[in-house]
Structure formats: structure tokens, C-alpha cells
């Protein structure tokens, strides 16, 4: 593990607030996956894939994907049951990882620069470990890798819900009791340390995303079952066997950037440094005063760290080509 390198801010585009990138529906293995595309602004841009967290969507990557469009030709998918994708048959980390693998294969764009936030980070770790030939570099933002002290997460309050029969119905009922505006505010407060960093346009887009959830009858079940699947993956990681996410992380060969916020309220703040220690070729960026979704809260800082990673790995590839 070593500290992340920050590229100069002048290498990034001027400050702007782009609208969500255009999206389309793709039928994959019998169900619809929704994908947003951030067109590259340079001819030699390389393919990238962005994977959101629990309860999120492809829109969580709007700013970061735009800032990196000069280097990366981006796709951001909605996981099954979230955003505008149809529900899936299962809601486990292995199932989501297989869907990401299938998307990379279906799109024919591999190997990709793979990005994952929170749940998307756990999924991306599994993809990078099981199918290393599909991953050029790996960037993990507050990855939801296993930790057992749920007092360090606001999600710990949900654990009793998992023991209740038909918990999905209770979650749907609770969702119906809250106005979309209240839910959007609660989600933002849980994920972001400094709300002044989120502009009015992003707040309005977050509210529209919440309204999409209210219209999707499957959303509450998808959320609860995914949370149950994530907790199950945490527990399995501390048992013998090949399914441990920590053991998988230790086998990843891809150059990796790990970003964590010191005011993360959803994932134990010790997880990001531990992830960087476990992954062999890793760089760590810990951000003071930043919460769970650094790519939303401080996208330019995250983009500078990604550019640092891309520059370093590009130079290594160049040297290898010259030596060959």
C-alpha cells in the first residue's frame, strides 16, 4: 500500500454541473439492465464501468464520469432491482458480480477500468478477483467490505428487520409513510458529510430518483434482500472457505485505488485502509470531512486521484512495451 497520487487540478475540465448522462435499456439474460453512457471526449479514451452502492443508481457517477471523459469512455449500470433496471431473481454479492461480468462480456469492452462505491465496491472486488482479465484498474470508493461492529454504521439499525418474517412488506409500508422529499433528505444526510457541497441540481435529481423508487413495487424487497445478502457475505468472510471477500481482495492483481471518507456513517471508516493493506498493488486516499459517497461530494479530488492512478499505470505499461 502507498499513498494515492493526486494529479494537478488543471488537467481536469472546468467546473460544471452536467445533467445525468443519457441512458438506455439493454436486455441481458432475459431482464432489462439500464445503462448510462458518458461519451469520451478524446479518441484514445479507454473503457470504464461504474457500479453504484445499495439503494443508489448509475446517476451516482454523473460528475466523476464527466470529469474523466477525456481519459475514460464510461458506462454506469443500474444493478438489478435498482434505478431503472428490472428486478433480479437474487440479491446477493455473487449474483450482482456475475451480472457485472456478463455486462462486460456483453458490451465487448473488457478489460475495463472498474469503479465501485459501497456495495458496488464489494461487487467489484469479487469481479476483479474472479475475472482479473476483465479489469484494467480498480477504484473503490468506501467499499462495503466486511466488518462486524455494526455500531459503526447507521445501517446497523436495520439488522433487526432482517429477522422479521416478510420484512419486505414492513419496509414497503415504512417507505409509504415518508414523503419523497423527507426520504431524499434522509438519504443525503446519511451519505454526505457536508451538504453544502451538493448543488441544487443534484438535490433535485436525487429527489427524482427517490420518486422512481416509490413507483417501483419491487424496490423495498430489492433493498431488504440486498442488505440481507450483503450481511451474509460479511459473515461468510470470517468463516473458512473460498467465499471470503477479504481473501478475494488479497488475490487481486489489478492496480487499485481505495478512497475513504473519514466521516463515513455507513461503512466503518477502518475498512478503506484495511482494504488498501490487503490488496497487493494498492494506493489509499483518506479524505477529511467527507462521507460515504466521495465521488458525489468531492468529485474533483477523486478524479485527480484516478488520474494519478491512470498516469502511473500507463507509464508502467509503456515501459513494459519498450522492454518487450
pLDDT, average across residues 35-57? 97
Residue 319 pLDDT exceeds 80: no
The pLDDT of residue 109: 95
Model pLDDT, residue 317: 61
pLDDT above 80 (res 163): no
pLDDT score at 172: 81
b/e 119-131 (16+ beta carbons within 10 angstroms → b): bbbbbbbbbbbbb
pLDDT exceeds cutoff 70 at 316: no
> What DSSP character marks residue 109?
-
For the ranges 28-32, 126-130, 209-213, 241-245, which has the lowest average pLDDT? 241-245
Query: Residue 173's pLDDT is what?
Result: 83
Output DSSP code: residue 184.
H
Please, what is the average pLDDT of the chain? 93
- Three-state SS at 49: strand
Average pLDDT (147-157) is: 85
pLDDT of residue 321: 54
pLDDT tops 90 at residue 206? yes
Q: Count other C-beta atoms under 10 Å from residue 242's C-beta.
A: 7
Give the residue, 183 or 150, on which the prediction is more confident. Answer: 183
Q: Residue ranges per domain, the chain?
A: 2-323
Indicate if the pLDDT at residue 70 is higher than 90: yes
Class of domain 2-323: alpha beta
Partners of 114 in the β-ladder: 49, 138
Whether omega for the bond prior to residue 139 falls within 30 degrees of 0, making it cis, is no
Q: What is the mean pLDDT of residues 48-69?
A: 97
| Cα 179-297-199 angle, rounded to 5 deg | 60
Q: What is the pLDDT of residues 228-274, one digit of tens each?
A: 999 999 988 988 877 899 999 999 999 999 999 999 999 999 999 99
Query: What pLDDT sits at residue 24?
Result: 97
What are 174-203's pLDDT values in tens digits? 777 889 999 999 999 999 999 999 999 999
Question: Cβ of 271: how many Cβ atoms within 10 Å?
Answer: 22
Which pLDDT band, with edges at 50, 70 and 90, does 91 fall under? very high
User: Are 308 and 2 contacting, i.e. CB atoms less than 8 angstroms apart?
Assistant: no
Average confidence (pLDDT) over 96-124: 97
Better-scored residue on pLDDT, 241 or 74: 74
Amino acid at each position: 500500500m502507498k499513498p494515492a497520487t493526486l494529479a494537478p487540478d488543471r488537467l481536469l475540465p472546468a467546473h460544471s454541473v452536467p445533467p445525468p448522462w443519457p441512458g438506455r435499456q439493454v436486455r441481458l439474460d432475459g431482464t432489462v439492465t439500464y445503462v448510462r453512457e458518458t461519451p469520451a471526449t478524446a479518441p484514445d479514451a479507454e473503457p470504464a464501468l461504474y457500479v453504484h452502492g445499495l439503494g443508489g443508481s448509475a446517476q451516482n457517477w454523473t460528475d466523476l464520469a464527466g470529469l474523466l471523459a477525456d481519459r475514460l469512455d464510461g458506462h454506469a449500470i443500474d444493478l438489478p432491482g435498482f434505478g431503472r433496471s428490472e428486478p433480479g431473481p437474487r440479491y446477493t454479492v455473487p449474483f450482482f458480480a456475475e451480472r457485472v461480468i456478463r455486462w462486460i462480456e456483453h458490451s465487448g469492452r473488457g478489460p475495463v477500468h472498474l469503479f465501485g462505491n459501497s456495495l458496488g465496491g464489494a461487487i467489484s472486488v469479487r469481479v476483479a478477483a474472479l475475472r482479473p482479465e476483465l479489469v484494467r484498474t480498480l477504484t473503490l470508493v468506501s467499499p462495503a467490505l466486511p466488518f462486524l461492529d455494526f455500531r459503526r454504521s447507521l445501517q446497523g439499525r436495520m439488522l433487526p428487520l432482517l429477522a422479521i418474517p416478510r420484512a419486505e412488506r414492513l419496509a414497503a409500508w415504512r417507505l409509504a409513510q415518508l414523503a419523497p422529499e423527507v426520504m431524499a433528505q434522509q438519504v443525503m444526510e446519511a451519505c454526505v458529510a457536508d451538504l453544502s457541497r451538493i448543488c441544487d441540481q443534484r438535490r433535485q435529481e436525487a429527489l427524482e430518483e427517490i420518486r422512481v423508487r416509490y413507483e417501483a413495487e419491487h424496490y423495498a424487497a430489492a433493498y431488504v434482500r440486498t442488505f440481507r445478502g450483503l450481511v451474509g457475505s460479511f459473515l461468510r468472510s470470517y468463516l473458512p472457505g473460498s467465499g471470503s471477500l477479504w481473501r478475494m481482495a488479497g488475490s487481486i492483481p489489478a492496480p487499485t485505488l481505495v478512497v475513504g471518507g473519514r466521516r463515513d456513517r455507513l461503512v466503518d471508516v477502518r475498512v478503506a485502509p484495511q482494504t488498501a493493506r490487503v490488496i497487493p498493488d494498492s494506493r489509499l486516499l483518506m479524505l477529511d470531512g467527507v462521507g460515504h459517497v466521495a465521488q458525489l461530494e468531492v468529485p474533483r479530488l477523486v478524479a485527480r486521484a484516478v488520474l494519478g492512478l491512470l498516469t502511473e499505470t500507463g507509464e508502467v505499461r509503456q515501459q513494459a512495451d519498450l522492454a518487450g
